[in-house]
Structure 1
Amino acid sequence: MSILFLIVIYLSFISLGLPDSGFGYSWPYMHEVLKVPVEAAGLVTIIVTLCGAFSSVVSIRLSKKMSTGLIVTISSLLTGVAMLGYALADNYIIILLCSFPLGLGAGGVDATLNNYVAKHLSSRVMNWLHACWGLGAMISPLIMSFAIVSLNGYQDGYIIVALIQLSLAIYFFTTLKMWKKNGVNEQEDSIDNRDLPRVTLRNLTPWLAILTYFLYCGAENSIMVWLNTFLIESRNMTNEYINGTIVALYSGGIMGGRILTGVISNRLGNRRVIRYGITISLIGLLLLFINNPYIMMVSVLLIGLGFAPVFPSLMHETTARFSSESASRVVSYQMASANIAMLSISPLFGLIGSRFGFGLMIPYCIVIVVVLFVIIEWLNKLTPQIKKV
């Protein structure tokens, strides 16, 4: 596996992270320009995630007929066009229409690369891959805050993100031959799961594995989408630079935590780093009750650091819990459930927050994370822990 090819894979996930946190940061300003209520973000999220869920399931099947590189190229092109549409939109309907290609593009990259890396590369590479998503998600609110303060508003921020996405799509197109040279026969740190039984969706264990993604992504995305709204509406914080820094620290914590996890995951194992991560995230959520901007910076950083290993380590552990044939199917449904969580859990909080106060984001996420921990430990007891070969 060449270093250059790994760089291509990492760039793919940077491009995936760029649109995610940017929307959450820009929405408090967008809804005023578009003249729609703040909870209208929920419908945008529903469209993006529903399309992402559909794309997650379909892309795994498409990868048998198309190269992973081509799927990544097309997906990046779709997201770039969608971001350009967000920038030029002067009404809410256009935002909704642009959300369709955004969801399809994001789901295509997410499911295809997660399945590829989970099967053929190490836990270290999987965590560093998702650290690159965190890098993209951290850069995006900084771009948006810069555009709002120093340029002509969030529209210029979306233009910058669109240009980055489209440039990456062109670059990915030039690297299509590289995907053929680095085929699926090259495996490093693979998992010997040949003796694991084949499972179907009639069994409990795959449903628990799917449910973990539903819960985790629901909590992660709720904070991603509503954090800046929480700061403005619940904490009366209106300084764009401070808010942008807090939002960026959340994504930066996820990114930095995944870099760190990549260093230690092969030694500690996926299950242990997941336990540590959830514990740290709960400490961060509790600190978020304190209404002080500097403590909030620490708290969101801890939440991000704690969340960091959960998604990639659970994904990599899927190939250890199930046979190779079963794992591919479970991964596709895990990605779909992640999108369904963003379709339901995050918009649901938008409705709750708009009616009862956005300060409820903290207990809302604490309950989800506690339930997630219980489900993961239950799944661990039902599935054997095997070593890499």
Structure 2
Amino acid sequence: MATVFLIIIYLAFISLGLPDSMLGAAWPIIRLDFGAPVELAGLLSMIVVAGTIISSLASSVVLKRLGTGLVTFISVAVTALALLGFSYSSSVVWVALLALPLGLGAGSIDTGLNNYVATHYKAHHMSWLHCFWGIGAMLGPILMSRYIANGESWRTGFFAVSMIQFALVVVLFFSLPLWTKVSKRGGQQPVEMPEKLDSRPTAVPAEGKVLRIKGVKLAMLTFLFYCGVEATVGLWGSSYLVNVKEVSPATAAGWVSLYYGGITAGRLITGFITFRFSNRTLIRGGLAISLAGALLLALPLPAVYSLVAFILIGLGSAPIFPCMLHETPARFGAEHSQKIMGYQMALAYTGGAFLPPLLGWAAARSTFMILPPAMIGYIIVMIVSSEVINRMMSRRQGEVSL
């Protein structure tokens, strides 16, 4: 039963990734159909992420009341319906209205499954779990580029992905009894436990004031800029290639899918590397590779080097998010991890909501050439924040050893 349960969780993360990259990949075509300004994609992205932030912050209450299984089923169903609506949208207003339920479908499931895996499974499962998110995120623009290249509408791409989502809804529906069995066991699935957590209770100044725990705010800042990088490249990468590198829209969508392919392959590899290296080491390495990719993107080189840069940014991004999530119980205590996980996910989505449209607004008034230096700046902020947290943890471990 443990293996079946893991497969279901992995499938749920495919469904999370599928819609994440489609809007950015198809936007150069969508905006022409609707006569919309280029920066409007940023506003649509903000609406999606606003819904995700709301459901993420409410996740603790919702998960406690409904359970992870039912929340997962409902969330994927809502996402499938929203994507189906996208395919029939007659104007950008309908796209904007459907963007909210698309976001609401992601927050609670994302927070609940991430915390479950962080507290019940080893680090390699967290990396592989997010690898499956990458599979979904990579399939989205691949399907979209295929339909566009064949002369079909972007609507067909959204319709196809909605059908995949509905298939996952059926799987999740028939898996509900399994979630019920797990719930009756108190949520303790009989599987391997994660690496040793910090068993020492983390000091909290007042009941529920987890934001006062040292390092929590810096961790949230790191999540904010990580998702800022990931979402910005995903949303504007295609527009950057079309407007700056003069690549065709179909080719640009395909190249963006390889960016997500880099994330996916990197997380698959990271799952094996976790047997030899700590989360802290993998986060450092990922940040260094992402910075190298952003620096390559900033150089005035032929278009093909931008593809290499996108893949490098994707590969570097691969270990950062899952390893930071898996570190949450160890950093701040398992007793606080569910609440802190919700805050971290909310800030991550905030970064995905506000940083991409901010760049789009600036690019519409200047040029998309600002994309590479913006990515470099975001990554540097992450490096500084992450290293400060590492020093805090080292000091805390030194105090415990004394």
- TM-score normalized with structure 2 length: 0.92
Deviation at residue 151 of structure 1 after TM alignment: 5.1
2: distance between equivalents of 1:264 and 1:182? 30
Q: Distance in 2 between matches of 1:380 and 1:180?
A: 39
Distance 1:198 1:61, change over 3 A: farther
Q: Residue 352 of structure 2 corresponds to which residue in structure 1?
A: 342
1:359 to 364, 369, 377: 369
Per-residue CA deviation, residues 54-78 of structure 1 (Å, 9 max, x unaligned), is 1011122211121211111111111
Identity, % of aligned positions: 39
- For 1:42 and 1:303, the matched residues in 2 are separated by 21
Considering only aligned residues, what root-mean-square deviation do their CA atoms show, in Å?
1.5
Cα shift readout 1:304-353 (whole Å, capped 9, x = no counterpart): 01000000000000110012222211100000001111121111001011
Aligned pairs (5 A) from 1:221-300: 221-238=231-248, 240=250, 242-288=251-297, 289-300=299-310
CA offset at residue 276 of structure 1?
A: 0.6
Residue number in structure 2 paired with 1:49: 49
**What are the Cα deviations for residues 212-243 of structure 1, in whole angstroms up to 9, with x where unaligned?**
10111111110010000000111111151x32
- CA pair 204-194 structure 1, distance change in 2 beyond 3 A: closer
Deviation, structure 1 residue 299: 1.6
Instruction: Determine the structure 1 residue equivalent to 2:77.
Output: 77
Contact 2:31–2:37 (Cα < 8 Å) also in 1: yes
Q: How does 1:1-389 map to 2 (within 5 A)?
A: 2-150=2-150, 152-182=152-182, 184-186=187-189, 187-190=191-194, 191-199=196-204, 200-238=210-248, 240=250, 242-288=251-297, 289-384=299-394
Whole-angstrom distance in 2 between the partners of 1:252 and 1:326? 33
Gaps (5+ residues) in structure 2? 205-209, 398-402
1:100 and 1:239 map into 2 onto residues whose CA distance is 26
**Deviates further, 93-102 or 145-154:** 145-154
| Shift in CA distance, 154/291, structure 1 to aligned 2, threshold 3 Å | farther
CA distance in structure 2 between the aligned counterparts of 1:198 and 1:165, rounded to whole angstroms: 42
SS of residue paired to 1:267: coil
Matched residue SS, 1:356:
coil
Equivalent position SS for 2:19: helix
Whole-angstrom distance in 1 between the partners of 2:249 and 2:40: 23
> Per-residue displacement from partner, 1:26-72 (whole Å, max 9, x unpaired)?
01111111121011111111111111011011122211121211111
Cα 1:239–1:26 change in 2 (3 A) is closer
> Secondary structure of the equivalent of 1:185?
coil
Question: Which region of structure 1 is more displaced relative to structure 2, 168-177 or 154-163?
Answer: 168-177
Contact kept, 8 Å, 1:246 with 1:296, in 2: the verdict is no
Structure 1 pair 370–66 and aligned structure 2 pair: CA distance change class (3 A)? same
Mapped to 2, the partners of 1:203 and 1:185 lie a distance apart of: 27
1:198–1:325 contact (8 Å) kept in structure 2: no
